[in-house]
Amino acid sequence: MSRAAGSGGAVAVASVAFRVEGPVVPAVRMTQRTKFLPPAQRYLAYQGEVRLRAKEAMAGAAPLAGPVVVRILIAARKRRFDLDNGIKAILDSLNRVAFVDDRQVVRIDADVRDGEFEYVHVTVTPVETATKGER
């Protein structure tokens, strides 16, 4: 995580980055009945792990309030999921942790790469910080 001085000397998050070890668990459709089935339980456990890693990276800082850019790198041995469902699982997990709501996401850059080790690396950057680096 990088921090920048805000108004009044307060410290604000400039960007947050973290890594979740293991394979991505894509979003699944759930109902009151199916949320107790193994696929839904795996998904909910994965959301909890993503949320935990994001909270650790935020180090107690408040969620970002403005528009954000999200960069996701997924390393997988075998791709057994749709990328959009993998992205949804990660974004839903970051609600109220890295940003207030996933409606703030104005850009997503996601890649899936073959790898010996499976992990997900996520970076969330406020738009004003992300655009400065692109100039």
CATH number for the domain spanning 88: value is: 3.30.1330.70
Q: Name the residue with higher pLDDT: 11 or 116.
A: 116
Domain count, the chain: 1
pLDDT at 80 over 80: no
Given the DSSP bridges, would you call strands 68-76 and 2-5 parallel, antiparallel or unpaired?
A: unpaired
Range of the domain at 35: 2-134
Tell me, what's the pLDDT at 134? 54
Please give the mean pLDDT across all residues of the chain.
87
Backbone angles phi, psi at 37, to 5 degrees: -80, 155
Buried b / exposed e over 114-126, threshold 16 CB at 10 Å, is eeeeeebebbbbb
Give the per-residue pLDDT at 29.
Answer: 84
For the whole model, what pTM was predicted? Answer: 0.83
Lowest mean pLDDT among 8-12, 89-93, 101-105: 8-12
Give residue 133's pLDDT: 55
pLDDT (mean) for 24-47: 88
For the segment 108-113, the average pLDDT, to the nearest whole number, is 95
**Contact in structure between 50 and 20 (CB atoms under 8 Å):** yes
Determine the pLDDT at residue 135. Answer: 46
- For the chain, what is the HEC assignment? CEEEECHHHCEEEEEEEEEEECCCCCCCCCCCCHHHCHHHHHHHHHHHHHHHHHHHHHCCCCCECCCEEEEEEEEECCCCCCHHHHHHHHHHHHECCCECCHHHEEEEEEEEEECCCCEEEEEEEEHHHHHHHHC
